[in-house]
Amino acid sequence: MSESRVGQRSKVAVLGASGYAGRELCGLVERHPGLALAGRFSARLGVEPEAPQSPVDAPIERLDLERLDGLDGVFVCAPHGASAPLVETALARGLKVVDLSADFRLRDGALYERVYGAVHPAPQLLDGAVYGLTEERRADVQRAQLVANPGCYPTSVLLPLVPLVRAGLLAKDSAVIADCKSGLSGAGKEPSAKTHFGAVHENFAAYGVGTHRHQPEIEQEALGTKVVFVPHLLPVFRGILSTLYLDPAPGIAARDVLNCLQARYAGEPFVRVFERGLPDLSRVQRTNQCHIGAADAFGKVVVVSCLDNLVKGAAGQALQNMNLMLARPETEGLV
């Protein structure tokens, strides 16, 4: 849709509305002044959706693909592998699609197969999918029919890292250590032995070291920089705090890093670079903000980035992208 939709309400649906990201998206769309939520659906054909968790929760409808006709856009919040067929169906109906799964984040179908253990279900769509790190790919997102919403961890790492790599502020051939910590909701709604209350309460642990599925995504988008990604599970529900340990180029210090990031993100509505001090989770939770700070430490520069994994790391960034795809104001419905 090329003409501006300001003043009209664009109709969208959420497929996979029962998960954490899907529920977050439904709430954002319901409060959005320019979007109408035309359906909150299960992501599985032929499966009855689960009952609402409480009397105040809106019911989730059984997936009916015919109900997608006439919409402007759709958010797909299905698990990897199950998402691609829904994306194909929505694209065939001419809808703008933001996919929150991993199905279209990796550009290489063979790499997807190695990481996810299955042949890619729709390899013909990979070349046309735009990796939706909005601040980096805004113009491409505006023209896109399909946007692959980035993972939450990669968003927290790439927003501070990419401008520094592009500006040449890192030591040649150095590796970046990305020490990242996420709230429990980043693991999704399905319970496991590692994510139930008894395992997480008053506990803190690293996991997926060297094997996490977000590692290839970070490597793909880090402009050739080596990144050692180490995720941890925090005993909180929402939020990601990523600490990047950088070997700076000769003569570069934290002040230079901050100057670079401040220049890059000046005027950006959802990225705030601190003049002094370091960010914390409490100030970004339930917002679409990413806060970034930096400090010198024993010859290294330490950069701290934090965001809400369910908002800027998932539903909020998806809505930011959909706003652009539907020619709406990018910040509409977001804080």
Q: How confident is the model over 275-288, as a mean pLDDT?
A: 97
pTM over 0.95: no
For the chain, the average pLDDT equals 92
Amino acid 52: pLDDT:
59
CATH fold of 152-310: Dihydrodipicolinate Reductase; domain 2 (3.30.360)
- CA dist list (Å): 286 to 27, 160, 212, 233, 251: 11, 20, 25, 19, 38
Q: Is 77 a catalytic residue?
A: no
Q: How confident is the model over 73-79, as a mean pLDDT?
A: 96
Q: How far apart are CA 25 and CA 36, in angstroms?
A: 12
Strand-pair partners of 226: 175
Q: How confident is the model over 308-331, as a mean pLDDT?
A: 98
- 200: pLDDT strictly greater than 90: no
pLDDT band, residue 204 (cuts 50/70/90) = confident
Amino acid 1: pLDDT:
39
- Which residue in 130, 19, 38, 137 sits closest to 93, CA to CA? 38
Q: How confident is the model over 77-83, as a mean pLDDT?
A: 94
- 2: pLDDT strictly greater than 50: no
pLDDT band, residue 184 (cuts 50/70/90) = confident
Per-domain boundaries in the chain: 10-150+313-325, 152-310
pLDDT band, residue 185 (cuts 50/70/90) = confident
- 10-150+313-325 and 152-310 in the same fold: no
Least confident among 33-47, 159-173, 193-207: 193-207
User: Who wins on pLDDT, 284 or 210?
Assistant: 284
Q: How confident is the model over 22-48, as a mean pLDDT?
A: 90
Lay out the sheet containing 271-273: strands in order across: 205-206, 226-233, 175-182, 240-246, 300-307, 290-297, 271-273
- 229: pLDDT strictly greater than 60: yes
- 56: pLDDT strictly greater than 90: no
Tokens encoding 270: 């959802």
Q: How confident is the model over 173-190, as a mean pLDDT?
A: 87
- 5: pLDDT strictly greater than 60: no
- Which residue in 182, 185, 240 sits closest to 207, CA to CA? 182
Amino acid 203: pLDDT:
84
Amino acid 327: pLDDT:
96
* In the chain, % of residues over pLDDT 90: 83
pLDDT in tens, 136-160: 999 999 999 999 999 999 999 999 9
In the numeric block, the tokens 């925090």 are attached to 234
Alpha helix ranges (H) inside 173-315: 197-200, 214-221, 254-265
CATH, domain range 10-150+313-325: 3.40.50.720
Name the catalytic one among 152, 180, 260, 306.
152
